[in-house]
Structure 1
Amino acid sequence: MATRTIGGWVLLGLALFGTASSGRSAEPLAEYFRIETERLAARPLLGIDSAERWKASRPELQRQCREMLGLDPMPEKTDLNAKITGVVERPDFVIEKIHFQSAPGLFVTGNLYRPKVVTRPLPAILYVCGHGGVVKNGLIYGCKAHYQHHAAWYAANGYVCLVVDTLQLGELPGLHHGTHHLGMWWWISRGYTPAGIEAWNGVRVIDYLTSRPEVDPTRIGMTGRSGGGATSWWLAAIDDRVAAVAPVAGITDLTDHVVDGVIKGHCDCMYFVNLYRWDFPLVAALTAPRPLLFENTDKDPIFPEDGVRRIYGHLEQVYRWYGASDRLGLVIGAGGHIDSTEIRHPSFAFFNKWLKGQEGPIEEPDRKVAIEDLKVLKPGEVPPGNRNDTIHETFLPEFVTPPVPASPAAWESTRDRWMGQLRAKVFAGWPSEDETPALDLKRVADLNRDPIRIRVFDYTSQPGVRLTTWLITAAKPGREQPDPLTLVVADETAWRARWSWLAKAQEETFQPPQGAEWTEILRSVEQGSALAIIAPRGVGPTGWDEKNEQAVKMGLHIRRRFPLLGQTLEGMQIWDVRRALAALRTVPELGNAPVELVGRGQAAALALWTAVFEPGVAQVTLDSPPVTVRDGPAFLNLSRVLGMPQALALLYPRTVRLVGTSPEPWRWASDLATKLGGNPPWPTFDHAESR
């Protein structure tokens, strides 16, 4: 197909028409999130309905959980290089100030509490902290100082207790907030979550504890509250060495997180990358049949009681399958997101029962020490090789560019493998064939503004997602069907700059804009082309206004909901474009029209991936496309499957035109085309300046 001028013009112009009133919803996509969450919540245990099926499925479910934490395969267990930097003597226990490396350069700082005299191996408690960082006079003492009263009780009552800092708030800080407000959406494309770091650090803490002669490796308990409660769930799910666990205020279900919006109160360490589309009861159920005390408060705003009780109901079923109902307990204390004796004392009694075989009243005198005594590192000390602040860059491997396949057969094998991985690991959140609803296409406007005709169509992309596409053709077509159909994919930047005037196109008083760019569009349409514009969900009429700080935060947390459902916003926008294409194909004169997809900037990636999964697209024009996965839209796990040059190669031998980018970043795709006999060179590059 010959390149049409309209592809360049639709990318370059129309900024002069301004921005129409958005009319945007205060709760964008609320119905969609409700429907999608209900679909997952309806299968909290994935349809497993018997003890036999559960026990047979559990090993694979544990593997999937590790994968979604970024821990499959598990990282290499390198030397911990544990160092004790000081000892604090108390009347009834000893505190060792310790750090170790859970992976080379990934430092964990903590305090190990133990009785003064140990004559036999003791039960041990791994205490994982919530977000209670302590800073005094500019010095970081970590979370362990805030939660020290927990560890002190255990040591004074015959346990070894290692309380460790979190990555975000430890003495050597890292990040928990990549997607929360730092714009690191590439974490999702990498499949990275700091929940995986915290779980991995917990694995290595158990490795360390089991190496200590004071510790009985068969009696290791785990507890923590808030973020520490979440880490308790993660680690108990994937590491069966945890003999008993008491998570506090660390979990609720997708209904609370996604529909009711408690995600706004949580950073990224609370979530895995939900590739397999689980609801959180499934994570909790992997603890069974080990002793489990589920604790929460009745007015916790970020772990609401209703979600806690829903999860507990599913846990009761799984524990019944094991005949272990006596090992499951629930404590709901009074108050908000607080650390109270009403919660602490039952957990102390729980571990006494299951790790020591003791029962009796709990006493908790004040045993706190000065926070200065708990600091592991000297003021200003940074151990050589520390990578805590950059571990998100390297903890998970990226795609390694392979040699260019040397033959058509080798390329076909590689392409098929990648396509399988893309369907299973990147775009698994798309509806299956039997889940795809009818388009329910409605023509909501049909304006004849000679010499052009503008038709406005609404269609259903998914339940809860109703979108609009605009079709511009000649008012009096000179042919039976246009050639080609150019479908422009708009992101929010393009919508605001070029296409917002379309929002008024269904009004009877609408008049086409004027200007050189419009004149060029008219010329192309009159020559037989058709132009369609699609604003996928989150763009234009269905977008969220980001003109103030509160709205920006709302938009971020809307976007963060998608990975909790095994999706990304941009991944579902590709689905929207595919559905727009299907809708346009129902227009009689477009049924067999050759299609050109056009996108600029981030939308170029949407156009590229739409074409990958729509073989009927004959031509693609990509203006200033992102040259790396990291620079582009977020797609689940994509940078673990392939890079942008390889993505482009999936379009060979269809016509691809690249604008505003140099050939070098795309060399792999060009070399592949050459080896496969591409002539003339593929793709083509347009270096002309924007007109």
Structure 2
Amino acid sequence: MYIRDYLVKIAEDITERPLPSFSSESEYFLWKKNKQIQFQQMLGIDTYLNEQRSPLNVTITGTLKSDTHRIEKLYYESLPGLYVTANLYIPNDLKHPAPAIVYLCGHSPTQKVKYQDHPRKFAQLGFVTLIIDTIQFGEVQGMHHGTYAHGQFQWTSKGYTPSATEVWNAIRGIDLLTERQEVDQNRIGITGHSGGGAISWWTACCDDRIKAAAASSGTGTIASQVRERTIDTHCDCIFPNNPYGWSLIESYALMAPRPMLIISPDRDRNYTIESVRLVYERLKALYSNLGFKENIQLFDFHAHHSYSPDSRKAAFSWFLKHLKGEENSENKVNDIDGKQESEKELLVYQGKTPPNDESTTVQEWLIESKELPLIQSSQELKATKKNLIKKLMTESFAAFAKHNIPLAVETKQKYFSNEETWHHKFSFVSEYNWKIPGELWGSSMKASNSPTAIYLKSTANTDGFKFHKIPIIHDLPSEWQRAMIEVRGTGESAWGTEMNWNVRRSLALTGRTIASLRVWDVLRGIQAIRSRPEVNPDKIIIAAEKDMTVPALYAALLDSRIYAVILKDPPASQDISSNANGSDNVIEIINSLRHTDLPQLAGLIWPTKLIFLGNRPKNYRLSEDIHKKLGEPGGVWRMQELSDLNI
């Protein structure tokens, strides 16, 4: 199987998964409550939602007045030091609290300046409207295009995407509106275009205070994003962190049964119209099942990735109907009037950014990493390891097969390379009929049922099955048997490094990473090798170098019978970036850094013995200390070669 075939298959399988059928509205709301909690955890904002919120510290820097409304130029702190610039449009002569709209901008350098026509029109229609800038654009500095343009694939390990920050900033925008006396807090809607359309979905899915929504050019399916590679055109914020492998439709379903308008042009480069219509049909069935079929609507039109006069009017009418109770307004509402304030008039900071602006580093601290407790005894280690494995299996490796897949081990060839050395080439099935090649070899002069060292084929090793070129296992004592397995992306299943950028982003969208696929391959390979009569199942060593040390460590954690792990030049952490094209440091695992990092992992594999070759980053002293403190049957070695190894 080729990687593209695999990506398309899992993306289509996820998308085709049906939504539940609910026998009652109360059954749906119970399902939604549980899923919403999970969704907030996926984003990583659950902690902030469940604790007392910090003061918004709203600062108004100026006011503009017109015949129909005034504009307050302001900024607020969604978290201490995380500043959000915004313009608040307030209709003139309000006699009662009015409905309100949160408007979320698409990716434009000028943000609220470019999209000002929309809050202006909403204000003219009687809505208090808050339009906010996004990270990296407008007046809010920072990094939005992490994996898209800057090789920040460690964001996947952190469980971070900018959608978390944007959703949180929008939620605090709702908080701001509810504190205004001009606003009826029971009539708040949300809308936006492109990235703003996607964040409109995710905010409404998180926060039930949103009573109606309209998403323009922000709706699609995982299948289409992967199959047609429209993911390649998207910024990171379009997709939430997805450790559980949800379909986008499952996430969208959290909006039901509140009024939802999907707006989409039929020639959108970023979303195929077929995928948008599929989402609509699936959600319409859910809304109908709940008895609210009139609350969801699709407005499609012939255009590129953009608004049209009619699509804007459809959005204005939607909110007039569902937040103001004005029926049949479709043919009465006009389009935008085209009048605009200048950029200079609308800017909030006027070039004077507040000191200690944390928006430039939000990706580093928004998602907290939990420090593991200090290990003082084997009992503490066992408890910590058990809890960590439970977390990882839930939040990092949820895509691992839940049913028994036959290994289907096949012997491909048996031969002797000389009078003393025999070789068995074999393959086994990892998943989806993906066959992983391997080879086992040893000395015919030694007894069977021998200890075995498994080398994980590395993209750094390009010499195929030239075993004398693998010094890690070649230098082991002669009584050891050797093996090698070609985990995905190496050997026969290798793809060009130019594919890594797309593969890494696509896999994360489905709840996987290249490294997590390799962890699974290693676990399956160990099973296959343990099944061989020549192998002592309790004397298995995993040997790996550089990137491949990451799946080696995770496999050793999950398989408690590994005898030893040899790490040559391991990375210091999973919190390191890659090249912009994604060609190096292919080590991310979804959410792993929320719970552990490589030095902690190397310590927690005790009593599996730990052997370092080459460079051992200094932060691995933590893992050495654990192994030394707990002693046998574990142990730690630092060596330059393995010929003298005696374990």
Answer yes or no: is 1:659 the counterpart of 2:613. yes
Query: Could you tell me whether the CA contact under 8 Å between 1:44 and 1:278 is conserved in 2?
Result: no
Distance 1:208 1:227 in 2: 22
Aligned residue type for 2:84:
V
Q: 1:608 to 1:389 in 2, by over 3 A?
A: same
Query: Could you tell me whether the CA contact under 8 Å between 2:410 and 2:426 is conserved in 1?
Result: yes
Q: 1:428 to 1:362 in 2, by over 3 A?
A: same
Distance 1:522 1:412 in 2: 33
Q: 1:186 to 1:449 in 2, by over 3 A?
A: same
Distance 1:162 1:520 in 2: 61
Distance 2:232 2:471 in 1: 47
Answer yes or no: is 1:431 the counterpart of 2:401. yes
Query: Could you tell me whether the CA contact under 8 Å between 2:100 and 2:184 is conserved in 1?
Result: yes
Aligned residue type for 2:7:
F
Moved more, 104-113 or 587-596: 587-596
Aligned residue type for 1:111:
N
Distance 1:690 1:222 in 2: 66
Distance 1:218 1:534 in 2: 59
Deviation at residue 664 of structure 1 after TM alignment: 5.1
The residue number in structure 2 matching 1:113 is: 89
Aligned residues: 628
RMSD value over aligned CA atoms?
A: 2.6
The residue number in structure 1 matching 2:518 is: 573
Q: 1:679 to 1:574 in 2, by over 3 A?
A: closer
1:471-528 alpha-carbon deviations (Å, 9 max, x no partner): 3334xx11342632111113322x23xxx333xxxxxxxxx698xx689977869x44
Equivalent position SS for 2:31? helix
The residue number in structure 2 matching 1:362 is: 333
Answer yes or no: is 1:615 the counterpart of 2:587. no
Deviation at residue 277 of structure 1 after TM alignment: 1.8
Equivalent position SS for 1:114? strand
Aligned residue type for 2:197:
G
Distance 1:254 1:399 in 2: 30
1:378-413 alpha-carbon deviations (Å, 9 max, x no partner): 23x2211101111101111112242323x4433332
The residue number in structure 1 matching 2:459 is: 492
Query: Could you tell me whether the CA contact under 8 Å between 2:546 and 2:571 is conserved in 1?
Result: yes
Deviation at residue 48 of structure 1 after TM alignment: 5.8
Aligned residue type for 1:638:
S
Query: Could you tell me whether the CA contact under 8 Å between 1:401 and 1:643 is conserved in 2?
Result: no
Distance 2:270 2:312 in 1: 19
1:263-308 alpha-carbon deviations (Å, 9 max, x no partner): 1111110111112221111211111121111111112121111111
Distance 1:520 1:648 in 2: 18
Answer yes or no: is 1:483 the counterpart of 2:440. no
1:574-613 alpha-carbon deviations (Å, 9 max, x no partner): 1111222222234332364722111112211221211222
Deviation at residue 50 of structure 1 after TM alignment: 5.5
The residue number in structure 2 matching 1:39 is: 13
Answer yes or no: is 1:323 the counterpart of 2:274. no
The residue number in structure 2 matching 1:249 is: 217
Please, which of 559, 563, 570 is the counterpart of residue 625 of structure 1? 570
1:40-65 alpha-carbon deviations (Å, 9 max, x no partner): 23434257675443222111111111
Moved more, 363-372 or 183-192: 363-372
Q: 1:240 to 1:459 in 2, by over 3 A?
A: same
Please, which of 98, 115, 118 is the counterpart of residue 122 of structure 1? 98
Query: Could you tell me whether the CA contact under 8 Å between 2:22 and 2:289 is conserved in 1?
Result: no
The residue number in structure 1 matching 2:321 is: 353
Distance 2:432 2:472 in 1: 38
Q: 1:386 to 1:521 in 2, by over 3 A?
A: closer
1:551-582 alpha-carbon deviations (Å, 9 max, x no partner): x3x32111111122212110111111122222
Query: Could you tell me whether the CA contact under 8 Å between 1:98 and 1:110 is conserved in 2?
Result: yes
- Identity score, percent: 30
Deviation at residue 680 of structure 1 after TM alignment: 9.0
Q: TM-score when scaled to structure 1?
A: 0.85
Moved more, 241-250 or 416-425: 416-425
Answer yes or no: is 1:176 the counterpart of 2:144. yes
Query: Could you tell me whether the CA contact under 8 Å between 1:66 and 1:72 is conserved in 2?
Result: yes
1:641-664 alpha-carbon deviations (Å, 9 max, x no partner): 123333122221222212234585
Deviation at residue 38 of structure 1 after TM alignment: 3.5
The residue number in structure 2 matching 1:140 is: none
Distance 1:72 1:441 in 2: 44
Distance 1:32 1:288 in 2: 32
Aligned residue type for 2:87:
N
Moved more, 305-314 or 588-597: 588-597
Distance 1:199 1:431 in 2: 32
Q: 1:331 to 1:559 in 2, by over 3 A?
A: same
Q: 1:409 to 1:303 in 2, by over 3 A?
A: same
Query: Could you tell me whether the CA contact under 8 Å between 1:481 and 1:593 is conserved in 2?
Result: no
Q: 1:688 to 1:33 in 2, by over 3 A?
A: closer
Answer yes or no: is 1:98 the counterpart of 2:74. yes
The residue number in structure 2 matching 1:387 is: 358
Distance 1:459 1:690 in 2: 30
Q: 1:170 to 1:690 in 2, by over 3 A?
A: farther
Distance 2:500 2:629 in 1: 45
The residue number in structure 2 matching 1:648 is: 602
Query: Could you tell me whether the CA contact under 8 Å between 1:482 and 1:593 is conserved in 2?
Result: no
1:212-259 alpha-carbon deviations (Å, 9 max, x no partner): 111111111110011111011001111111111111111211111223
The residue number in structure 2 matching 1:460 is: 429
Please, which of 305, 308, 314 is the counterpart of residue 337 of structure 1? 305
Distance 1:279 1:467 in 2: 28
Aligned residue type for 2:496:
D
Distance 1:306 1:212 in 2: 41
Moved more, 160-169 or 530-539: 530-539
Aligned residue type for 1:578:
L
Q: 1:276 to 1:53 in 2, by over 3 A?
A: farther
Answer yes or no: is 1:686 the counterpart of 2:623. no
Deviation at residue 161 of structure 1 after TM alignment: 1.1
The residue number in structure 1 matching 2:344 is: 372
Query: Could you tell me whether the CA contact under 8 Å between 2:21 and 2:289 is conserved in 1?
Result: no
The residue number in structure 2 matching 1:227 is: 195
Distance 1:690 1:593 in 2: 21
Equivalent position SS for 1:501? coil
Query: Could you tell me whether the CA contact under 8 Å between 1:404 and 1:671 is conserved in 2?
Result: no
Query: Could you tell me whether the CA contact under 8 Å between 2:261 and 2:296 is conserved in 1?
Result: yes
Q: 1:181 to 1:689 in 2, by over 3 A?
A: farther
Please, which of 246, 253, 272 is the counterpart of residue 278 of structure 1? 246
Query: Could you tell me whether the CA contact under 8 Å between 1:32 and 1:464 is conserved in 2?
Result: no
Structure 2 stretches of 5 or more lacking a match? 577-584
Please, which of 402, 415, 419 is the counterpart of residue 373 of structure 2? 402
Aligned residue type for 1:485:
T
Q: TM-score when scaled to structure 2?
A: 0.91
Structure 1 stretches of 5 or more lacking a match? 1-24, 135-142, 503-511, 547-551
The residue number in structure 2 matching 1:16 is: none
The residue number in structure 1 matching 2:204 is: 236
1:161-184 alpha-carbon deviations (Å, 9 max, x no partner): 111111121312222221223121
Alignment of 1:46-57 (within 5 A): 51-57=25-31
Equivalent position SS for 1:468? strand
The residue number in structure 2 matching 1:507 is: none
